[in-house]
Structure 1
Amino acid sequence: MNKIEKFLSRNIFPVFFKLFPLKRKTIVFSSFGGRNYSGNPRIISEKLQKGELDYQLVWLLKDTVPDILPKGIKRIKSDSIFSAYYLYTSKFWIDDSRKTIVYKKRKSQIYFQTWHGTPLKKIEFDAKDKLSKHYLKYAQNDSESISYLLSGNNYSSKIYPNAFRIETEKILNIGTPRNDQLIKERKSHNESIYDKRIINILFAPTFRNDPRDNGLSQLKKIGFNLLEDYFHLKGQEVNFLVKFHPNVNSQLAKDRASLDYMKHHSIELVEDSILLEHLFSNIDLLITDYSSIFFDYSLLGKPLILFNYDENKYAEERGFYIELSDLPVPKAQNADDLINVLLFQKEKLLNSSKALLEYLVNYENGDSAKKIIELIVKEDN
């Protein structure tokens, strides 16, 4: 990216564009700093299109993002003169991560911060000792610009005011759009993993600061052979999938050892482009460590296991909001523990999602995107 253009788009152009009239019917979307067309902003954007409402929809995306926007949506290069123009002349902003802005939004603009998951690890200003001063400066401008911050549960709503340094009144306890589909797909799941002929297991570890602790190291700890043998003895087939953190996925092309290991064990690698709400519908059992995706997955009512093999080290590295022992879900610290959960904690495993949602005090009910659009229309009048 042209560094001069990036500097001007953040530091100079907004000064002029803030003097322009606001475009009342324009909404600017961004996801993960322009790296994706995804998440809560994507769901809201697509629902707005289907509703045929009279709004201009603009997406800020990096040049590296494939051209996959639906017809009728305007694509603008992030960190460009045009991105600065649309940011400071549009009535609405919708994002799921921090905006790298030097200048706060205009007083009459409305900014929906939808965030990207229920926090287990400490985030934002609660983790300020682990974040750069440069990032925290952007974060402060972003927080002071937020009009509404979405929350999917009471647990998150208690964390957000301090983590984002915003007023409690700005938190919308209406769920999150990317989880609307999960609510609609939730079934009674009469057939448990103990009765199914084919089991789809997703292993979704988050990243560690030390690169040596990612990829192959994580794969070897779970004991795929033991799990496969367990299900085979019961006359069941098992398909293994792995969803690494994007920070790990981006390095896999150089990690031949991990790729060879997955190929040898017939493990399918889930790409970052796969929407989690689509992936989850085909998964029968989730095994993860400290990735917040297990909060979303629980909305389907399916079993999950926390694989916290390095809990003490990771807690010191990142910090948790709660003790993992407080969560009402099965936990394992090695491959043998995983088998023991399957053998001796059947009831707890099968009820893990329901128990977790009760613990969180769930707000997700499947109509978050609809409520946001209703609020946009209200704010527009």
Structure 2
Amino acid sequence: MKLFPFKKRIIKSFLIKSIYNVFLFLPLQKNKVLFASDSREEMSGNFLFVYKEMCRRNLDLDYYFFLKSSKRSYTELIKLTYHLATSKYIFLDDYYPIVYPLKIRKDAELIQLWHAVGAFKKFGYSRTERCEDSQLNSKDHLNYTKAIVSSKNVINFYAEGFGIKKEKIIPTGIPRTDIFFCEDYKKNKRQDLYKQYPFLKEKKVITFAPTFRGLGKRNAYYPSDILDLSELYNHLHDDYVLILKIHPFVKEKFKIPEEFKEFVYDFSNYREINDLLFVTDILITDYSSVCFEFSLLNKPMIFFAFDLEEYIAERDFYYNYSSFIPGVLTRSTEEIIKVIKSGNFDLQKIKPFVEHFYDHRDGNSSKRVVEQLILKKINC
């Protein structure tokens, strides 16, 4: 008998929870650290920075990694369940449905190193008024023992979004932003990118990095025809190149006409967008949290929010969008071109934006995560 995907998920969840409860009879291994992700295929982002910091300190810890796999066997699922039940520290960096039905052991830590910076569009339980009844009964996020944020100013939003107490939200700063304060890293990364992609050095770089539309990963899309590549080419190709960094949830690629292939380049498969920001002169985004990282570079941003009212109705924001964004609001390709040609980017908005969303601007967020959440040096 063929099972529908929904029934398969229910059965798998029941089996994992049952096996997990058996493994709870085993002792907790106080030196075991588990990194688990359904979005990363390799160690990168916050995971990598925290892991490197723990290794740098030569801590007496054993590390285990369960990263994204196209298809995970039942043997691997049992191994993962064993490690979830016996690890002292479990690190997540995104939504991770396998762990939410599980009761975390009294002396264990389930730590969410959330991939986004700041607080922008509403997520999790902040969206309950827009959720279906089945989502209202969800257990997602509720079992985190700790979560990190970039600033004390967003603690309330993350506590609400995750459905956990404010005391569990720690403003350590976001580890993967440490590179924005390391001049050697930025210089070397620029050199690497210029060597690999010489065209990035020949002209100024505009990076187009919008978020997806749709309810989630399964039906994510972006209306590529809304951005007029022909108009951008006609007005900007002499001085600029345009690189596309479309959200990984979006499977349908932009169709780049042959005549634009020395102006438009698709970098959507390039994993770390932060590295691309170091060679970016102008960022065009919409509702993506990439604006938080880019603000640290004090460079121009254009917000292409052609569907703002619709997005507010469906998703909404923690702040008033128009006054919140550290750049210029546009609704058409023509307006984007006008802003770039005029050079009027409202750069004065960036400094107060950074000060509000970053308590620490020192490149030591990875250290604080390890010290405050692993070594328990709360006031370091």
Q: For the structure 1 residues 59 and 213, does the alpha-carbon distance in structure 2 shift closer, same or farther, using more than 3 Å as the test?
A: closer
Name the residue aligned to 1:93.
90
Deviation at 1:369, TM superposition (A): 0.9
Contact 1:29/1:59 (8 A) holds in 2? yes
1:357 and 2:362 aligned: no
Name the residue aligned to 2:121.
121
Look up the SS of the partner of 2:274 in the other structure: helix
Name the residue aligned to 1:44.
50
Which runs of 5 or more structure 1 residues have no equivalent in the other structure? 66-74, 188-195, 253-257
Q: For the structure 1 residues 168 and 4, does the alpha-carbon distance in structure 2 shift closer, same or farther, using more than 3 Å as the test?
A: closer
Look up the SS of the partner of 2:368 in the other structure: helix
Q: For the structure 1 residues 19 and 246, does the alpha-carbon distance in structure 2 shift closer, same or farther, using more than 3 Å as the test?
A: same
Contact 1:179/1:364 (8 A) holds in 2? no
Contact 1:202/1:240 (8 A) holds in 2? yes
Name the residue aligned to 1:240.
242
Deviation at 1:27, TM superposition (A): 0.6
CA distance in 2, matches of 1:317, 1:333: 18
Look up the SS of the partner of 1:247 in the other structure: coil
Deviation at 1:6, TM superposition (A): 3.3
1:54 and 2:60 aligned: yes
Q: For the structure 1 residues 16 and 137, does the alpha-carbon distance in structure 2 shift closer, same or farther, using more than 3 Å as the test?
A: farther
Deviation at 1:131, TM superposition (A): 4.6
Q: For the structure 1 residues 42 and 212, does the alpha-carbon distance in structure 2 shift closer, same or farther, using more than 3 Å as the test?
A: closer
Q: For the structure 1 residues 137 and 94, does the alpha-carbon distance in structure 2 shift closer, same or farther, using more than 3 Å as the test?
A: farther
Deviations 1:153-192 (A, max 9, x none): 34422311222222222221121011111232499xxxxx
Deviation at 1:209, TM superposition (A): 2.0
Alignment partner of 1:174 out of 154, 169, 172: 172
Name the residue aligned to 1:19.
25
Deviations 1:285-322 (A, max 9, x none): 11011111111221222211111111111111212222
Normalising by structure 2, we get a TM-score of 0.80
Name the residue aligned to 2:156.
158
Identity %: 26
Name the residue aligned to 1:147.
145
Q: How does 1:1-381 map to 2 (within 5 A)?
A: 6-7=12-13, 10-32=16-38, 37-64=43-70, 80-100=77-97, 101-117=100-116, 118-131=118-131, 139-140=139-140, 142-143=141-142, 145-185=143-183, 198-209=203-214, 214-215=221-222, 217-218=223-224, 220-231=225-236, 237-248=239-250, 250-252=251-253, 258-259=254-255, 261=256, 263-266=258-261, 267-327=264-324, 328-344=326-342, 346=344, 348=346, 350-360=347-357, 362-379=359-376
CA distance in 2, matches of 1:231, 1:273: 24
* Equivalent position amino acid for 1:241 in 2: I
Q: For the structure 1 residues 283 and 164, does the alpha-carbon distance in structure 2 shift closer, same or farther, using more than 3 Å as the test?
A: same
Contact 2:38/2:69 (8 A) holds in 1? no
Q: For the structure 1 residues 170 and 330, does the alpha-carbon distance in structure 2 shift closer, same or farther, using more than 3 Å as the test?
A: same
* Equivalent position amino acid for 2:104 in 1: K
CA distance in 2, matches of 1:55, 1:212: 40
* Equivalent position amino acid for 2:174 in 1: T
Q: For the structure 1 residues 48 and 361, does the alpha-carbon distance in structure 2 shift closer, same or farther, using more than 3 Å as the test?
A: closer
Contact 1:76/1:83 (8 A) holds in 2? no
Q: For the structure 1 residues 77 and 94, does the alpha-carbon distance in structure 2 shift closer, same or farther, using more than 3 Å as the test?
A: farther
Deviation at 1:129, TM superposition (A): 4.4
Contact 2:212/2:247 (8 A) holds in 1? yes
